[in-house]
Structure 1
Amino acid sequence: MRLKNKPWAHELVEAHPEKVLIRPEGKIDWQKRFTNPDLPLRIEVGSGKGQFIIRQAQAHPKINFVAIELQTSAAGVILRDELKLALPNLQILLGDGKMVDTYFARESVDLVYLNFSDPWPKTRHEKRRLTYRDFLRSYENILQIDGHIEFKTDNRGLFEYSLVSMNNYAMKFDYVNLDLHNSDDEVVAQNIQTEYEEKFSRRGHPIYALHAHFQKK
């Protein structure tokens, strides 16, 4: 979902190269980007306004996070809020999520978050879905042996597609929930909501969630 253009965001993003990488080329030395380089690394592909990734960084100071966003306006909103909180364990990458394996080294990421991704419902747009096989291959390249994907959406069609796509890729499911907010388990207790999740759940939409990992060859 595209945000309205925020002219101030461009200037803010460009003024903080220590916090934001703008469409970089090649692998990034992420250890040099964080105050504590030895912590586990987790990424969110398509962070929107950043509520989820910011709350994750606040809740888990012993983990480093990277918010990946294609829109400059969205990256600017994340940066604005991050600067207020002075989070040393959160970086922002302004770039395309389909290129994650060009930004991160092999087996360097602990977890990939996919939250309320654009469903791209038309068949001709299948390759743009963040759980399409080409995206899965990119995540597989950067995830550690015990790393995994956590995915949430309110879109049943995208959820069903993602189940099939991951199954066809021979991934293993660790957790599947068809109504996250009306469940009572450890995952629900630890759930951090996104902006869209709060909005959709208030409207009575079920939230679908899954955790899955790759079978390393």
Structure 2
Amino acid sequence: MRLRHKPWAKDKLLNHPELVIQEPEKYKGKWQELFGNSNPIHIEIGTGKGRFINEMAKAHPDINFIGIEAYTSVIVSALDYALESEPTNLKLLNVNAQNLLDYFTEGEVKRIYLNFSDPWPKNRHEKRRLTYKSYLEMYEKILVKGGELHFKTDNQGLFEYSLISFSQYGLKLNFVSLDLHNSDFEGNIMTEYEEKFSKKGNRIYRCEVQFP
């Protein structure tokens, strides 16, 4: 994906601290206090332009959502979406997911969403895949016991790799769809990529796994 540089994006993020949390490490273990309630926390890693996380926040007002995106020029679109929909249960973090343990304490998150992550197809880049075992170790630390990971992709190779990775890690497979849009699954909220790929006829893969 080629990103268009937006030199004004950083300032715009800084101008909306009510949505884009600066210095998120200060809220480690205190996210429910920031939201002002005791509702469960769900995070999306790789929020992109923000359709999924914003629509989820609107559909589930009893859940606190946190969208994580490393690219400033991308997450600013998620901010624009949030400024239009004005959700009260959504925060955005412009940080790298490699540092999750700096922002969340043990058992603070109930569910993690991975949507259309970079497949990193070359073998030498395996450790960069968000379903690689080192990432699963991080997820397990911040998730509640029995916490879930929901994963969607149009990349068959990444999906097959991830299923193996989940199995080797000992995760429980609760749901698998090899063709989501032609299944009876209800309540699917599409990402921008998902809509684009599905219109091209690409099959969408989805699974839900649970940590012990």
Same fold (TM over 0.5): yes
Asked if 1:30 corresponds to 2:27, the answer is: no
Asked if 1:138 corresponds to 2:138, the answer is: yes
Asked if 1:199 corresponds to 2:210, the answer is: no
Query: Which letter does structure 1 place at the counterpart of 2:162?
Result: S
| Alpha-carbon contact 1:150-1:209 (below 8 Å) kept | yes
User: Which residue does 1:74 correspond to in 2?
Assistant: 74
Deviation at 1:146, TM superposition (A): 2.6
Deviation at 1:179, TM superposition (A): 0.5
Q: CA, structure 1 residues 200+210, in 2 after alignment: closer, same or farther (shift >3 Å)?
A: same
User: Which residue does 2:166 correspond to in 1?
Assistant: 166
Deviation at 1:23, TM superposition (A): 5.7
| Counterparts of 2:68 and 2:20, CA distance in 1 | 10
Q: 1:1-80 maps to which residues of 2 (within 5 A)?
A: 1-22=1-22, 24-25=24-25, 28=28, 29-34=30-35, 36-80=36-80
User: Which residue does 1:111 correspond to in 2?
Assistant: 111
Asked if 1:100 corresponds to 2:100, the answer is: yes
Deviation at 1:131, TM superposition (A): 0.2
User: Which residue does 2:125 correspond to in 1?
Assistant: 125
Deviation track 1:58-98 (CA, whole Å, cap 9, x = no partner) reads 11111110000000111211112211221110000111112
Deviation track 1:187-208 (CA, whole Å, cap 9, x = no partner) reads x211111000011111111101
User: Which residue does 1:210 correspond to in 2?
Assistant: 207
Percent identical: 50
Q: How many equivalent residue pairs?
A: 211
| Alpha-carbon contact 1:27-1:102 (below 8 Å) kept | no
Q: CA, structure 1 residues 152+136, in 2 after alignment: closer, same or farther (shift >3 Å)?
A: same
User: Which residue does 2:182 correspond to in 1?
Assistant: 182
Moved more, 1-10 or 127-136: 1-10
Moved more, 37-46 or 75-84: 75-84
Deviation at 1:2, TM superposition (A): 4.9
| Alpha-carbon contact 1:23-1:95 (below 8 Å) kept | no
| Alpha-carbon contact 1:65-1:89 (below 8 Å) kept | yes
Deviation track 1:108-167 (CA, whole Å, cap 9, x = no partner) reads 111100000000001111111000001000110011113100000000010011011111
Give unmatched runs, 5+ long, in structure 1: none
Give unmatched runs, 5+ long, in structure 2: none
Query: Which letter does structure 1 place at the counterpart of 2:211?
Result: F
| Counterparts of 1:114 and 1:76, CA distance in 2 | 19
| Counterparts of 1:107 and 1:163, CA distance in 2 | 24
